[in-house]
Structure 1
Amino acid sequence: MLPRIAIIGRPNVGKSTLFNRLAGRKLAIVNDTPGVTRDRKEVQARLGGRDVLLLDTAGLEEAPPDTVAGRMRASSEVAVRQADLVLFVIDAKAGVTPSDRAFAAWLRRQPAPVLLVANKTEGRGGGMAAMEAYELGLGDPVAISAEHGEGIADLHTTTAEMLPEEEDPEVRDRDRPLRLAIVGRPNAGKSTLLNALLGEERMITGPEPGLTRDAVAVQWEDAEGKVRLVDTAGMRKKARISEDLEQMSVASTIAALKEAEIAVLVLDALLGMDEQDLRIARLAEREGRAVVIAYNKWDAVEDRAAARQALEDTLQTSLAQLKGITVVAISAMTGKGVDRLMPAVRQVMERWNRRIPTGELNRWFEGAVAKHSPPLANGRRIKLRYATMPKARPPTIAIFGPRAEDLPEDYRRYLVNSFRETFDMPGVPIRLHCRGGKNPFVEE
Structure 2
Amino acid sequence: MKKLPIVAIIGRPNVGKSTLVNRFTGSRTAIVHDEPGITRDRLYQPSFWRDRDFLVVDTGGIVFDDDSEFLPEIRQQAMMALAEAVAAIFVVDGQEGITAADEEIGNWLRQQNVPYFLAVNKCESSEQGLIQAAQFWELGLGEPLPVSGIHGSGTGDLLDAVLSCFPPLDDLPDADETEINVAIIGRPNVGKSSLLNALTGVSRSIVSPISGTTRDAIDLQIEHQGQSYRLIDTAGIRKKKNISYGAEFFSINRAFKAIRRCDVSLLVIDALDSITDQDMKLAGRIEEEGKAAIIIVNKWDALEKDSTTIYKYEKMLRDRVYFMYWSEILFVSALNGQRVKTIFDSIQTAVKEHRRRVSTAVINEVIQEAVAWYSPPTSRQGKQGRIYYGTQVSSQPPTIALFVNDPKRFNDTYRRYIDRQFREQLGFQGTPLRLIWRGKRPREVEESKLNRATRV
Superposition TM-score, scaled by structure 1 size: 0.94
Partner of 2:402: 399
Q: CA deviation at 1:311?
A: 3.5
Alignment of 1:125-204 (within 5 A): 125-167=128-170, 172-204=174-206
Which whole-Å deviations, capped at 9, do the CAs of 1:63-103 have from their partners, x for residues lacking one? 45574111111111111112111111111111111111111
Determine the C-alpha separation between the residues in 1 that align with 2:239 and 2:162: 43
Q: CA deviation at 1:375?
A: 1.7
Question: Which range moved further: 88-97 or 398-407?
Answer: 398-407
8 Å contact from structure 2 (residues 176, 228) kept in 1: no
Tell me if 1:389 matches 2:392. yes
Aligned residue pairs: how many? 438
AA of the residue aligned to 2:143: D
Partner of 1:267: 269
Partner of 2:237: 235
SS at 2:269 equivalent: strand
Give percent identity, aligned residues only: 37
Determine the C-alpha separation between the residues in 2 that align with 1:43 and 1:296: 29
Question: Which range moved further: 235-244 or 202-211?
Answer: 235-244
Q: Which portions of structure 1, spanning 4 or more consecutive aligned residues, are displaced by more than 6 angstroms?
A: none
Partner of 1:442: none
Residue 285 (structure 1) aligned to one of 268, 284, 287 = 287
Determine the C-alpha separation between the residues in 2 that align with 1:97 and 1:310: 59
Change (3 A) 1:118 1:67: same
Change (3 A) 1:11 1:307: farther
8 Å contact from structure 1 (residues 377, 407) kept in 2: no
Which stretches in structure 2 are left out of the alignment for 5+ residues? 445-456
Determine the C-alpha separation between the residues in 2 that align with 1:425 and 1:149: 48
Which whole-Å deviations, capped at 9, do the CAs of 1:22-43 have from their partners, x for residues lacking one? 1111111110010001111112
Change (3 A) 1:66 1:130: closer
Partner of 2:454: none
Determine the C-alpha separation between the residues in 2 that align with 1:232 and 1:111: 31
Change (3 A) 1:136 1:318: same
8 Å contact from structure 1 (residues 5, 86) kept in 2: yes
8 Å contact from structure 2 (residues 332, 340) kept in 1: yes
8 Å contact from structure 2 (residues 183, 264) kept in 1: yes
Q: CA deviation at 1:344?
A: 1.3
8 Å contact from structure 1 (residues 383, 404) kept in 2: no
SS at 1:257 equivalent: helix
SS at 2:169 equivalent: coil
AA of the residue aligned to 2:412: E
Which stretches in structure 1 are left out of the alignment for 5+ residues? 440-444
Q: CA deviation at 1:436?
A: 1.3
8 Å contact from structure 1 (residues 47, 159) kept in 2: no
Which whole-Å deviations, capped at 9, do the CAs of 1:405-444 have from their partners, x for residues lacking one? 65323222221121112112233111111111379xxxxx
Higher gyration radius (CA): 2
8 Å contact from structure 1 (residues 291, 325) kept in 2: yes
SS at 2:310 equivalent: helix
Q: CA deviation at 1:16?
A: 0.7
Alignment of 1:234-253 (within 5 A): 234-253=236-255
8 Å contact from structure 2 (residues 64, 104) kept in 1: no
Partner of 1:330: 332
Q: CA deviation at 1:340?
A: 1.1
Determine the C-alpha separation between the residues in 2 that align with 1:234 and 1:130: 40
Partner of 2:447: none
AA of the residue aligned to 1:151: G
Partner of 1:366: 368
Determine the C-alpha separation between the residues in 2 that align with 1:394 and 1:190: 25
Partner of 1:79: 81
AA of the residue aligned to 2:392: M
SS at 2:164 equivalent: helix
Determine the C-alpha separation between the residues in 2 that align with 1:237 and 1:91: 37
Tell me if 1:219 matches 2:202. no
Q: CA deviation at 1:155?
A: 2.5
Superposition TM-score, scaled by structure 2 size: 0.91
Change (3 A) 1:176 1:131: farther
AA of the residue aligned to 2:401: A
Tell me if 1:432 matches 2:452. no
Q: CA RMSD in A?
A: 1.9
8 Å contact from structure 2 (residues 23, 149) kept in 1: yes
Q: CA deviation at 1:10?
A: 0.7
SS at 1:139 equivalent: coil
SS at 1:45 equivalent: strand
Partner of 1:8: 10
8 Å contact from structure 2 (residues 33, 246) kept in 1: no
Q: CA deviation at 1:19?
A: 1.1
